[in-house]
Structure 1
């Protein structure tokens, strides 16, 4: 219905009321494309009709497009009805002081705005342009949350549970922030990593970029800070005939907001580094190792946390002792490949061991 409504002319629909006033509303709540806006609201001219819907990329599709019967009238009627309802919500906002209630009213006022729906559905939601999708605006946070919950949140939990990241690292998780991760383009993979994906040692050789997207209303980003750790629970512990958890990377006292939320080396300084990044260098025949990314909300600042034991990192004790609140996670997997030796040499790490199916005695 949205596609049809936006692709059909509204026969010079008069765009008035609260949705046409941007003096107190974010410009991201309106269409950025003047051609699409003109087609929707001034589509009665022969020239506009002849050119066809600008949202269709192929010229042939634009020329042969025909609006469904009576869609113009229905779109006009719906637009007028919903814009009047939006005016009622904004009138309630004038005397409202509670921040969460205000966010709820702003969301309800804009949720059925066709310009908002178009912006969200037809633009990049992960690498969002704030001129189009501004997560500082409550309605875009609502749409972003629903979009995340419709697939990516379920995929994350499925991977965390089937790969036993839960409970091998932390007992459980109720995700409240969307965590995405990618590695620098120079490593050969210029994309956001899907949870559970197997990556080569060359891809993971440099510090990853981590995006932390908050959707909750009423967060005070002046006070709220975050901790991020990457742990490997699959490091062989030969002496105890088991596995141990090691710390691959750690950051504390991070500050983000709804839009400025990409954590990379430009975002933090030396004092915020709990543990420098050590890339995955799995040893031969160990199998696939899980590298789990955990994001926590802090309860205040972490004042100069004590040095951690990276080789025997107890993540549960770390969370308990610093009163951290786990809100998001991610995971990828790594295994030995022919480039591991080069990565070890680059980072000054010792030569890796080779494991065998049958344990050999050392003479």
Structure 2
């Protein structure tokens, strides 16, 4: 039996031989040595002289930056110990911000960091990975989100100003939803799961509202708002990004999920998902039964609860073949009526 077989005919490289087998594993080459043992060629051991010299420069620079990191840590600790309860928290915040900057600079040029980030094997507890994730989000996902929010007039219809600083990722039935997508009513009958990815350290308590800003008001010949979901005291952090769904921390549902529904003849409805940061824990029990769905004003709710908008998302819905059945199932009025536009005389 011939031990050598060429795979080039199938468009695969390299040629595999029984005497010196070579295997490709996730972009790294495993090559057998003289003793037959497989040796992993890592990015740190790439056999290029210029590359190795560059690694030496990067390592020397990192040692210098880590000395600055250690000095900054000691400086913060000394101030806290010396001033105790009278410590200037604003000053400590600024010093901590500079400390994180130094930590990012120490690792930003490390090829291993870039390799891990490109493969998705990252730890958002590390400042350099938070920095890279934030930069990537701001280069692609955030501009698309802002385009949808402005073109579809969520800003200013729902909130006058919105500057997202967290990445909100929505899923219905296990499928990621791009912002602004028109979803079938059968897909949105059950509440979504979603992630909120912050790019700053520490835990946050959040509130999420889902609002329909296109509810027809025939009497006024205009549109009203309707609250579809309100969940408070959601815990998020760089390592706790699942806000609702499997893996999420316990939270408080103040207003249950109301399936999105669009009456026949009505234009598509915009469903805005707004993520607010709380100053402290909200007394959910005190609010239950006091929040009215119809006519819900997001701005007033934000002001009363002292909330800060930090993230958003958007999806749309329209009348489809499943809407009437879902409206009947949940006791929603209007499934048997059709809206028509009346021409001005």
Match of 2:257 in 1: 277
TM-score of the two chains, using structure 1 as the length reference: 0.73
Structure 1 134/52 Cα, relative in aligned 2: closer, same or farther at 3 Å? closer
TM-fit CA distance, 1:81: 0.6
Match of 1:229 in 2: 209
2:106 aligned with 1:109? yes
1:58-101 per-position Cα deviation (integer Å, ceiling 9, x unaligned) = xxxxxxxxx9xxx9222112111111111111122223234323
In 1, the alpha carbon distance for the partners of 2:341 and 2:220 equals 17
In 2, the alpha carbon distance for the partners of 1:201 and 1:53 equals 52
Are the equivalent residues in 2 in contact too, given 1:235–1:244 (CA < 8 A)?
A: yes
SS at match of 1:139: helix
Match of 1:122 in 2: 119
SS at match of 1:239: coil
In 2, the alpha carbon distance for the partners of 1:85 and 1:43 equals 32
In 1, the alpha carbon distance for the partners of 2:42 and 2:249 equals 43
2:297 aligned with 1:314? yes
Match of 2:342 in 1: 358
Match of 2:318 in 1: 335
Are the equivalent residues in 1 in contact too, given 2:200–2:238 (CA < 8 A)?
A: no
In 1, the alpha carbon distance for the partners of 2:35 and 2:181 equals 50
In 1, the alpha carbon distance for the partners of 2:222 and 2:266 equals 12
2:128 aligned with 1:142? no
2:68 aligned with 1:92? yes
2:167 aligned with 1:178? yes
Structure 1 111/45 Cα, relative in aligned 2: closer, same or farther at 3 Å? farther
1:112-136 per-position Cα deviation (integer Å, ceiling 9, x unaligned) = 111110111133xxxxxxxx21111
**Would you tell me which structure has more strand in proportion to its own residues?**
2
SS at match of 1:255: strand
TM-fit CA distance, 1:102: 2.6
TM-fit CA distance, 1:279: 1.3
In 1, the alpha carbon distance for the partners of 2:279 and 2:52 equals 50
TM-fit CA distance, 1:207: 0.9
TM-fit CA distance, 1:206: 1.1
Are the equivalent residues in 2 in contact too, given 1:36–1:53 (CA < 8 A)?
A: no
SS at match of 2:294: helix
Match of 1:78 in 2: 54
TM-fit CA distance, 1:264: 2.1
Match of 1:261 in 2: 241
Structure 1 299/251 Cα, relative in aligned 2: closer, same or farther at 3 Å? same
Match of 1:24 in 2: none
Are the equivalent residues in 1 in contact too, given 2:31–2:40 (CA < 8 A)?
A: no
2:195 aligned with 1:211? yes
SS at match of 2:48: helix
TM-score of the two chains, using structure 2 as the length reference: 0.77
1:170-218 per-position Cα deviation (integer Å, ceiling 9, x unaligned) = 0011111111101123xxxx2x11111111111111110111010024x
In 2, the alpha carbon distance for the partners of 1:246 and 1:133 equals 39
Match of 1:162 in 2: 151
TM-fit CA distance, 1:348: 3.0
The total of aligned residue pairs comes to: 292
In 2, the alpha carbon distance for the partners of 1:341 and 1:322 equals 36
1:145-169 per-position Cα deviation (integer Å, ceiling 9, x unaligned) = 1100111111111110000000000
TM-fit CA distance, 1:302: 1.6
